[in-house]
Amino acid sequence: MNSATPHLVAIPAGTVVLRDARTGTSRDATLRPFNIGRTTVTRAQFAAAAGPEACPQIPAHAVTWFEAVRWCNEASALAGLAPAYEIRGREVRWDVAAEGFRLPTEAEWEWACRAGTSGPAYGPLANIAWTAADQVDGPQEVGGKVPNDFGVFDMIGNIWEWCWDYADTARYADYRSIRGGGWADPEWSCRASVRRGSAPDAVLEDVGFRVARGAVGEVGSQTAQGWSAAADLSRAEFHGPRPPGWTPLRGDRTPPATLNS
């Protein structure tokens, strides 16, 4: 294992309920077993995939979604694994049959975060998460608070984490989902179910990422682990007058079935 390789934790198969506050809907996602990072990717790991620079053990942050997926491929190459992504400029395809490092889907993230619990968090926030209540001025070293029952640290608080999924294809076009809450967020924002989104090229000071690994679908499949390219396109459909500021992800412009196969 080289210095860029994250320590992974095995996550069992299961079913998680995903809720969408905007649409008032929920859906069940049934998952295969997979692996997820014991912590978020640190600055030391992030630098090791790109070069020899030494960094402290705080989360890599102010990282764009595009930088995160590129890093996943770089780390896969260093580990001798088939890359999970084919990247062509802004187009990113996920090979769900690949064993390389990748971003978790939202379903994987929430299942790994909850670790069998059903409340807002997997423990008292003071014990498990760096939040506004701690009055810190930036991300803290990973693994400094209590892990969940799967042995995973900092899934709530410290930094927000990029996921693979689009945030809302009807309203925000190609925005990607972020989960988990950050060091400056209040209690109500640091919950297992809270989801936000941002542009994949946005640089946000309190956003980083955690990797997943594992082949979770068949070669050429466009669905896996609670994600579906067809569902992305379907959710982008909008009937009637479009609210001001909404930018649906149009299939004739950037079809999810093409980019996320």
Taking the model in full, what pTM does it have?
0.93
User: Helix crossing, 65-79 with 43-50: angle to 10°?
Assistant: 70
CA distance linking residue 152 with residue 102, whole number of Å: 17
Tell me the pLDDT band of 239, cut-offs 50, 70 and 90.
Answer: confident
pLDDT of residue 49: 65
pLDDT of residue 238: 78
Residues present in the chain in total = 261
pLDDT of residue 240: 83
Domain positions in the chain: 8-237
Mean pLDDT of 233-260: 71
β-bridge partners, 213 = 35
Indicate if the pLDDT at residue 152 is higher than 50. yes
Segment 18-74, tens digit of pLDDT: 998 888 888 999 999 999 999 999 999 998 765 555 478 999 999 999 999 999 999
Return the SS3 of 143: coil
pLDDT of residue 252: 43
* CB-CB contact of 180 with 157 (8 Å): yes
CA distance linking residue 177 with residue 65, whole number of Å: 9
Fold designation for 8-237 = paralog of FGE (formylglycine-generating enzyme) (3.90.1580)
Tell me the pLDDT band of 10, cut-offs 50, 70 and 90.
Answer: very high
pLDDT of residue 101: 98
